[in-house]
A = this chain, B = another copy of it.
Amino acid sequence: MNTKVQEITEAFKFRHACKLFDKNRVIPEETFNMILEAGRLSPSSFGLEPWKFLIVQSKELREKLYPISWGAQNSLDGASHFVIILARKKIDTLYDSEYVNHILTDIKGFSPDVTEQFLKAYELFQKEGFKLLEGDRAIFDWASKQTYIALANMLTVAAMLGVDSCPIEGFVPEPINKLLEDEGIIDGKHFGVSVMAGFGYRAEEPHHPQTRQAAKDVIQWIK
């Protein structure tokens, strides 16, 4: 087996949802920046990057999140870095939004012609492809799917750098959004919480071995 394949395999075996973080260990700056870059440089549908990464280091905010995020308590308590990934709402992801136009024009540097063509395809995709205009939840969940790409890359890159992590869906979105709005951290018209993750170092080995369905049960070749 070649070295790279071996290294990658080891990272996938190393990664688990860390239940207990070592409170005394801090991720070095260069390492955590790489984890963040893995999120920022992630691909997203139509390249729209419909996300934002909040790094919650404030003890005060972590304490406020604690009672309303049952699945995050171990991370809030002991993780070196705590990340909330926000997804953009319909106001920003809709085909004729200011945000989409900003990305195409200012970030991608598209000409007006290319922008127009792109937006036609994007409108068709939203209306007739993935039917994202069925409701506010459908289009938000779609933006949220993109944040799971960023999440995955952050977890995997962390594991490659020997950093443990815990992805978190164990919360009720509404009170989290309300807290972040009340604290003046997010504008709830544009953003909502999608998923969270703690990053740090394990304080103990996992209690359970990693289990997965066999390859034959999840992989099907059509030759």
Contact = CB atoms under 8 A, between A and B. Distances in A.
A137 B157 CA distance: 31
Nearest to A174: B131
A26 interface: no
A51 B208 CA distance: 22
A152 B148 contact: yes
Interface in A1-53: 1-2, 4-5, 8-9, 12-13, 15, 17, 30-31, 34, 36-38, 40-43, 45, 47, 49, 51-53
B171 A129 contact: yes
Contacts of A130: 169, 173
A41 B212 contact: yes
B61 A157 contact: no
A18 to B, nearest CB: 11
Copies of this chain held together in the complex: 2
Interface string A136-179: 01100110111011111101110011000001011111000000
Interface in A40-92: 40-43, 45, 47, 49, 51-58, 61
Given A15-B43, A218-B53, A220-B185, A208 B137 contact: no
Interface centre among A31, A185, A211 (most CB of B within 10 A): A211
Contacts of A137: 134, 137-138
Given A8-B160, A40-B213, A45-B169, 5 more contacts: A36-B219, A53-B218, A58-B222, A150-B152, A185-B222
Interface of A: 1-2, 4-5, 8-9, 12-13, 15, 17, 30-31, 34, 36-38, 40-43, 45, 47, 49, 51-58, 61, 103, 107-109, 125, 128-130, 134, 137-138, 141-142, 144-146, 148-153, 155-157, 160-161, 167, 169-173, 185, 208, 210-213, 215, 218-223
